[in-house]
Amino acid sequence: MNSIPFVPVITIDGPTASGKGTVSTRVAQALGWHVLDSGAIYRLTALACVQQDVETGDVDAVAKVAQHLDASFDAGNVYLSGKNVTEAIRDEQIGLLASKVAAYESVRAALLQRQRDFRQLPGLVGDGRDMGTVIFPDASLKVFLQASAEVRAQRRCKQLNEKGISANLASLTADLQARDEHDKNRAHAPLVAAVDAHVIDSSNLSIEETVAVVLDLWSRQNN
């Protein structure tokens, strides 16, 4: 009888702009694994609602959009119904709407299995807010990446400025703090570190240093 092969998973959870997406991508590249940006799934849902004129306050309608979401990922790009929306889903307003719809239990349920289907050999690095607590509770290694709201706002402000987009640091900080509170206090799958997660504060770490910490945790755990 053929047994189902075990697929290792590293989860990297954390608040908005903590750098978890970039860290996850680089860790996956270093290990030769697949990567799942769960935040993109919710941003795609939010973008689809906007494109389809679905009111994001209509829970049932949003859940229906999530159920039929035509999403795909390829070579670092994100596609919605075959159209490259990699940049579109990073819009600040889409991010706020994504945080809103992600609080709906029916939406999270609709997207649960879709996220778990990314678990394929040789392994998966998944980043989000509930990767280690809900989506992959049996993950081989769980990381919770955090940084102060001020540091995260500075990083986001720099990213926007480099793209030629003006940004107000005070407003970004306030927005991140508000989003943190919303994510931490939502009724379903709140933002919280798994009890067995390694908490890493990257406030004073570069992306390269943070990636090195995660890879070191994985190496020590498997040697």
- Residues forming the annotated binding site for ATP? 14-22
Does residue 178 sit in helix, strand or coil?
Answer: helix
Q: Using an 8 Å Cβ cutoff, are 187 and 131 in contact? A: no
Q: Using an 8 Å Cβ cutoff, are 18 and 210 in contact? A: no
Which residue positions form the known binding site? 14-22
d(CA 6, CA 157): 41
Closest CA to 193 of 15, 7, 40, 43: 15
> Count of CB atoms within 10 A of residue 111's CB?
23
What single-letter amino acid sits at 145? Answer: L
d(CA 155, CA 15): 13
Strand partners, 41: none
d(CA 80, CA 6): 30
Structure tokens at 157: 């402000």
Going by the DSSP 8-state scheme, the letter that residue 9 receives in this structure is E
φ, ψ for residue 142 (rounded to 5)?
Answer: -120, 130
CA 40, 9, 64, 99 dihedral sign is negative
